[in-house]
Chain A
Amino acid sequence: MPTIEVTISDFESLLEEKIDQDRLELLLEQVKGEVKEFLPAQDIAKVELNDTNRPDLWSPEGIARQIRLKKSKAGTPYPFFDPKNKSDREVIVSKEVAKVRPYLAACIARGMVITEPILEQLIQVQEKLADSFGRKRKTVSIGLYRLQKISFPVRYDLVDPETTRFVPLGFNESMSLKEIIARHPKGMAHADTLFGATQYPILIDAKEEILSFPPIINSREVGEVKVGDTELFVEVTGTDMRMVMLALNIFACNLADRGAAIEPVSIRYSNLTDYGKDIRMPYDFSSSIDLNLDAFEKVLGEAVKMEEAVAELSAYGYTVQTKGKSLKVTAPPYRDDTMHPIDVIEDFAICRGYGSFKPEMPSTFTVGALSRVESLSDFLRDAMVGFGFQEIVSNILGSRQDFIENMKLTALDKTRPEAKIVEIGNPMNERFSLLRSSLLPSLLRVEGASSKAFYPHRVFEVGEIARLTSPGPGKRKAEEATTTSIHLAALIAHPNATFSELHAVLEALFLSFSGRCRLESIIHPSFIQGRSGNIFSEKEEVGLIGELDPEVLTRWQIGMPCVSFEIEIEKL
């Protein structure tokens, strides 16, 4: 979720009102925003925007636009979207560029003097759109240029990275595109946006002056916008045409809100796109959504009158046409997030204010219940507490050291269920790279960390474990690749802890639910040979019991004899 920084005074002039923190919090409800910091002394506020589908709101201009709409009950006119405006400036998109970064949108802004705070805001919007919306420039990136240095038509083309050279921003020397990728900080940071292409995209003007190497870096000569500039050329490039055009629309509206006159640019594609071959941009691609008043009532739980629907939706920026009980609504060109009539209805509710809806208690009667395994777990937890055991809750993730090395599982028969450990392919930290396949390591971790707590230790845990169902990687039809199950494990540690002490608990536990269990000897590396066994209920294996192998105890840095059992609850 993007967080933006706004200059309070600048924001106030965009909002056309003075604000304090409370007022700002209230206003931000309209845009799903939250005040993170409000520092009037420094004239700075930080605002988090929660709607990841509304990049138009990730700037003070956009937030203020939405709020002004509600106050004025009508949309700001953006005449530059009118297709009747013709353009004599042209950008030619080559056929080749489709292989790397196919789409481009552009426009011109005049008559707004760039000041220090405005420049900061422009850069912030540019970065937020490219980073969060454009996925770190991969799908969308934005470039700004000084218009007077450019001779039209501009070409957007692919070139050879070794022989094409220009002086990039931040450097004084001419570099080849390849050198930029290798040495320029922006080149190193964004090389992945080229997806391994062998030819790189550039923007180049009629006098063969290179404007930029999108989405990496602008030319120092043409592409460094400075305080005092009044005429800008704005371009957006990317891999998704709609997103590219939307980013330009947002940027153009932001500039217009600051008093710039936006002039269109004609984009000439080599192939036919979804929106034509010659497209005048900024381009309003919004399409209408049909819905009727019944849909409002069904979703909101109260009847909505047509006048009210029209008023609120207009005050949220929609263009609304009505016919009987039906509405045809069109979102403004800086939005592309309305996918379903439900989105329009939510905007209606937001505009009217959530506080204006009266909560109603759902009255349908339902019977509540725990799942069988949870009820059984609770029963067993009560029983273990009765036997004098302290309950433990542990994390499920652990390290190879914890779950394999310390348990001596490398020596375990690979077909044993506890050997089938689920591993994380992209761990952030080796300490949390495996899911536990049994609870025993969790209890040993507690024992290893608790030598100072007075003895005897009698602990248990009821919790989830996960295991691979097939031996090792592989795909099997119609079968779960892993299983999650709930286990109960108990451990006793004190100077004279023995098998029979815990065996007695196990017997008593089974008796508590009139169950029966029997043991069969097993050779298992985690336990002392001859003092460990499989636990069977009726006919099925349900778990393990045994005195812990001294080597296992040593690896866990435990200085006390330990005995433990573990059973799978659903099998009882």
Chain B
Amino acid sequence: MNDDVLTKLAESLHPLEKKVLVQFSDQDKLTEDAILERDASLQASQLSMALGWLLTKEIVKVVEEKVEALVSLTPTGAAYAKEKIPLLRMVEEIKSKGQVPIRELQKRTDMEPEEKSSAIGALKACGAVVIVSGGQLELTDRSKLSEFESLQRVIEQLSKMEDAVPLATLPPEDQAAIEAHHRKRGKAKGIFRVDERAHRTYAPTDDFGPIYQKMMAVGSVEEIGGLTPEMLKEGNWREKQFRKYNIQLLPPRITGGRKHPYKRFLDQVKSKFVSMGFSEMRGPLVESEFWDMDALYMPQFHPAREIHDVYFVKGDLQDQTISKETIDRVAATHQNGGKSGSRGWRYPFDVERTRRLILRSQGTSVSARTLGEGANIPGKYFSIARCFRYDQVDATHAPDFFQVEGIVLGPEIHFRTLLGLLTLFAKEVARAEEIKFLPAYFPFTEPSVEMHVRHPKLGWMELGGAGLFRPEVTEPLGVNVPVIAWGLGLDRMAMVALEISDIRDLFSSDLGLIREKQTVLEKRGEAINADD
């Protein structure tokens, strides 16, 4: 390296770098901890920053690196420390009852379905239980459980530690247990978390000597670190020299404020509907059976209304805001058609049950409310409503999700304008030119239609369902013009736009993932809705 370059390098040294370099003037190697001990004014983060710069400038080098694995509990692990691993909880149940059928174990609500099935699988595989008549499990050989009991012991031991524990300090059998159960990359579940920490030893390079000398020499001239308002006012910056920066160094990482990608997708849907002349309507998350189903002419004996299909609110809560007259009209319609011209469902309508509170199961309830509260005629309405379904949560089912639904009402509404409206949706929302209408069934519409479109990226897909509200829906709510009810399934389009395959990722808690998702889209310069 020639003298000129050395001088430039020496001049560009940051005060923190100088502090570190001084430490090497009488040592041929130092660990980070040793440097921090020698200069108490340095903070660990400052040191690692300075060392990083010095490494890129090749004034110091790494001569030794030790990687230490540190083990700690994941949130799942911490929970297991308190309530034991699922398998042992099941063993306790079997022990206390003598025999337990597998389906009983599968009914436990304190663990996830995957936890249950893997625990039952492991339980059978290890040979600690036998299956006796009627699918009952019975405990035979407790000694076969030792593997799981020692796993539990390791978990409990770690839960008592405040910091992560170096893996190497644990006995080999514990290490093996941790190895088998630690969280793999990309997997959500796992009991242990293993992080690696590197310990490095640094030494000066050949350039160190000459640069150090230059640095000491430069140090005698007064350098300006930063320009201040006082200097500008007094003009004394003129006598001084500015310390030179190495502008090639990477700056610290920052992140900007952004909207969530899924919300941006929904924002585009929202503005699309407003631009087509639709008004937004809203409804509550906790809904009465009346607005969620009865007003939509779903009979109270409908299979989708059973205990395993709808979430009920605890505590026998009732909605007292619905007028008796409205309920009576709907009840009559269910029982004998009322004034709707229908023969009705012909069953005794339960007027107590109709006030019962549930979690909104379908966005159509918002439409029913809008009609009941007096909609504009002619009118167009849409809502993006959070709904709840009684489903196991998995890659295609989120615990709660958005439904895009709405109504169009007016004297000119009929089956052909319904098809016209859907054609417009296909073009505007899915950018699809080809469209197919198929007969469909919904309890509250007749005629009912399912719309399939050829999406530019996804090919043929079902975009939504629609129909004309049955007179049994509109008449009791006092609406005397035809009403189109429509709903669109946009989650698949959203998932493709956001490049995710698991619906739960739409609601991800991982900030890293959320930030990254955006960069991917931004980089490609693509609008989320393929709507440019």
- Chain A residue numbers with a CB within 8 Å of B393 are 429, 431-432
Of the listed stretches A39-47, A190-198, A444-452, name the one at the interface; the rest are far from the partner chain: A444-452
- A374 near B280 with CB under 8 A, answer yes
- A478 near B320 with CB under 8 A, answer yes
- B315 near A394 with CB under 8 A, answer no
A512 at the interface (CB under 8 A from B): no
B186 at the interface (CB under 8 A from A): no
Give the complex CA separation of A249 and B511 in angstroms: 60
Taking CB as reference atom, which chain B residue is nearest A131? B303
Of the candidates A358, A393, A453, the one whose C-beta lies within 8 Å of that of B262 is: A393
Interface residue tally for chain A (C-beta within 8 Å)? 100
B390 at the interface (CB under 8 A from A): yes
Q: Report B321-366 residues with CB < 8 Å from chain A CB.
A: 321, 337, 340-346, 357, 359
Of the candidates B344, B386, B423, the one whose C-beta lies within 8 Å of that of A339 is: B344
Give the complex CA separation of A291 and B152 in angstroms: 73
Nearest CB of B to A297, in Å: 8
- Chain A residue numbers with a CB within 8 Å of B109 are 427-430
Given contacts A363-B412, A477-B320, whether A466 and B286 have CB atoms under 8 Å apart is yes
Q: Report A298-320 residues with CB < 8 Å from chain B CB.
A: 298-302
Nearest CB of A to B495, in Å: 14
Q: Report B431-445 residues with CB < 8 Å from chain A CB.
A: 436-441, 443
Taking CB as reference atom, which chain B residue is nearest A371? B280
Q: Report B20-50 residues with CB < 8 Å from chain A CB.
A: none
- B286 near A299 with CB under 8 A, answer no
- A299 near B392 with CB under 8 A, answer no
- B318 near A369 with CB under 8 A, answer no
- B253 near A341 with CB under 8 A, answer no
Of the listed stretches A223-231, A276-284, A380-388, A408-416, name the one at the interface; the rest are far from the partner chain: A380-388
A172 at the interface (CB under 8 A from B): no
Scoring B residues 442 to 464 as 1 if CB is less than 8 Å from chain A, else 0, what string do you get?
01001111000000000000000
Give the complex CA separation of A360 and B421 in angstroms: 8
Q: Report B392-406 residues with CB < 8 Å from chain A CB.
A: 392-393, 398-400
Give the complex CA separation of A450 and B408 in angstroms: 44
Give the complex CA separation of A435 and B345 in angstroms: 34
- A29 near B438 with CB under 8 A, answer yes
- A482 near B256 with CB under 8 A, answer no
- A392 near B260 with CB under 8 A, answer yes
- Chain B residue numbers with a CB within 8 Å of A135 are 301, 303
Taking CB as reference atom, which chain B residue is nearest A387? B257
- B314 near A481 with CB under 8 A, answer no
Taking CB as reference atom, which chain B residue is nearest A361? B420
- B284 near A483 with CB under 8 A, answer yes
- B514 near A390 with CB under 8 A, answer yes
- B344 near A428 with CB under 8 A, answer no
Q: Report B44-68 residues with CB < 8 Å from chain A CB.
A: none
B151 at the interface (CB under 8 A from A): no
- A355 near B437 with CB under 8 A, answer yes
Taking CB as reference atom, which chain A residue is nearest B443? A52
Of the listed stretches A252-260, A342-350, A524-532, A542-550, name the one at the interface; the rest are far from the partner chain: A342-350
A476 at the interface (CB under 8 A from B): yes
B15 at the interface (CB under 8 A from A): no
Give the complex CA separation of A53 and B413 in angstroms: 26
B378 at the interface (CB under 8 A from A): yes
Taking CB as reference atom, which chain A residue is nearest B357? A481
Given contacts A358-B416, A368-B274, A483-B284, whether A450 and B511 have CB atoms under 8 Å apart is yes
A397 at the interface (CB under 8 A from B): yes
- B399 near A397 with CB under 8 A, answer yes
Scoring B residues 362 to 401 as 1 if CB is less than 8 Å from chain A, else 0, what string do you get?
0000000000000010111000001010111100001110
A511 at the interface (CB under 8 A from B): no
- Chain A residue numbers with a CB within 8 Å of B357 are 481-482
- Chain B residue numbers with a CB within 8 Å of A396 are 285, 386, 388, 399-400
Of the candidates A373, A374, A423, A428, the one whose C-beta lies within 8 Å of that of B313 is: A423
A422 at the interface (CB under 8 A from B): yes
- B317 near A373 with CB under 8 A, answer no
A364 at the interface (CB under 8 A from B): yes
Of the candidates B263, B345, B408, the one whose C-beta lies within 8 Å of that of A362 is: B408
- B319 near A390 with CB under 8 A, answer no
- A478 near B359 with CB under 8 A, answer no
- B257 near A385 with CB under 8 A, answer yes
A538 at the interface (CB under 8 A from B): no
Give the complex CA separation of A395 and B393 in angstroms: 12
The size bracket of the interface on B is 35 or more
Q: Report B447-499 residues with CB < 8 Å from chain A CB.
A: 447-449, 468, 470-472, 482
A521 at the interface (CB under 8 A from B): no
Of the listed stretches A94-102, A113-121, A456-464, name the one at the interface; the rest are far from the partner chain: A456-464
- Chain B residue numbers with a CB within 8 Å of A422 are 286, 313-314
Nearest CB of A to B469, in Å: 10
- A339 near B281 with CB under 8 A, answer no
A294 at the interface (CB under 8 A from B): no
Given contacts A362-B412, A480-B319, A481-B357, whether A431 and B284 have CB atoms under 8 Å apart is no
- Chain A residue numbers with a CB within 8 Å of B346 are 242
B259 at the interface (CB under 8 A from A): yes
Give the complex CA separation of A396 and B410 in angstroms: 35
Nearest CB of A to B445, in Å: 9
Nearest CB of A to B359, in Å: 7
Nearest CB of A to B441, in Å: 4
Of the candidates A367, A389, A449, the one whose C-beta lies within 8 Å of that of B510 is: A449
- A360 near B315 with CB under 8 A, answer no
- Chain A residue numbers with a CB within 8 Å of B400 are 395-397
Given contacts A362-B420, A374-B280, A435-B285, whether A395 and B507 have CB atoms under 8 Å apart is yes
- A453 near B274 with CB under 8 A, answer no
- Chain B residue numbers with a CB within 8 Å of A78 are none
Of the candidates A341, A365, A428, A482, the one whose C-beta lies within 8 Å of that of B317 is: A482
Highest count of chain A CB atoms <10 Å: which of B346, B376, B413, B446: B446
Give the complex CA separation of A355 and B439 in angstroms: 10
Scoring B residues 124 to 162 as 1 if CB is less than 8 Å from chain A, else 0, what string do you get?
000000000000000000000000000000000000000
- B286 near A435 with CB under 8 A, answer yes
Taking CB as reference atom, which chain B residue is nearest A393? B260
Taking CB as reference atom, which chain B residue is nearest A470? B317
Nearest CB of A to B205, in Å: 30
Given contacts A385-B258, A390-B511, A393-B507, whether A357 and B416 have CB atoms under 8 Å apart is yes
- Chain B residue numbers with a CB within 8 Å of A452 are 512
- B258 near A370 with CB under 8 A, answer no
Nearest CB of A to B216, in Å: 34
- Chain A residue numbers with a CB within 8 Å of B303 are 52, 132, 135
Of the candidates A242, A363, A397, the one whose C-beta lies within 8 Å of that of B388 is: A397
Taking CB as reference atom, which chain B residue is nearest A25? B438
- B447 near A475 with CB under 8 A, answer no
A359 at the interface (CB under 8 A from B): yes
Give the complex CA separation of A274 and B50 in angstroms: 93
Nearest CB of A to B89, in Å: 13
- A301 near B414 with CB under 8 A, answer yes
B282 at the interface (CB under 8 A from A): yes
Of the candidates B110, B312, B436, the one whose C-beta lies within 8 Å of that of A426 is: B312
- Chain A residue numbers with a CB within 8 Å of B341 are 340-341
Nearest CB of B to A532, in Å: 24
Scoring A residues 45 to 84 as 1 if CB is less than 8 Å from chain B, else 0, what string do you get?
0000011110000000000000000000000000000000
Nearest CB of A to B158, in Å: 13
Given contacts A300-B416, A340-B470, A393-B260, whether A425 and B281 have CB atoms under 8 Å apart is no
Taking CB as reference atom, which chain A residue is nearest B504? A395
Taking CB as reference atom, which chain B residue is nearest A364? B378
Nearest CB of B to A246, in Å: 12
Given contacts A340-B470, A362-B417, whether A481 and B319 have CB atoms under 8 Å apart is yes
Question: Given A453-B510, A480-B319, 8 more contacts at CB 8 Å?
Answer: A53-B441, A345-B447, A357-B416, A359-B422, A366-B380, A368-B275, A391-B258, A429-B393
15 pairs from A and B in contact (CB 8 Å cutoff): A32-B439, A52-B443, A300-B414, A339-B342, A362-B412, A368-B276, A368-B380, A369-B280, A381-B259, A392-B511, A394-B509, A396-B399, A425-B311, A449-B511, A484-B285
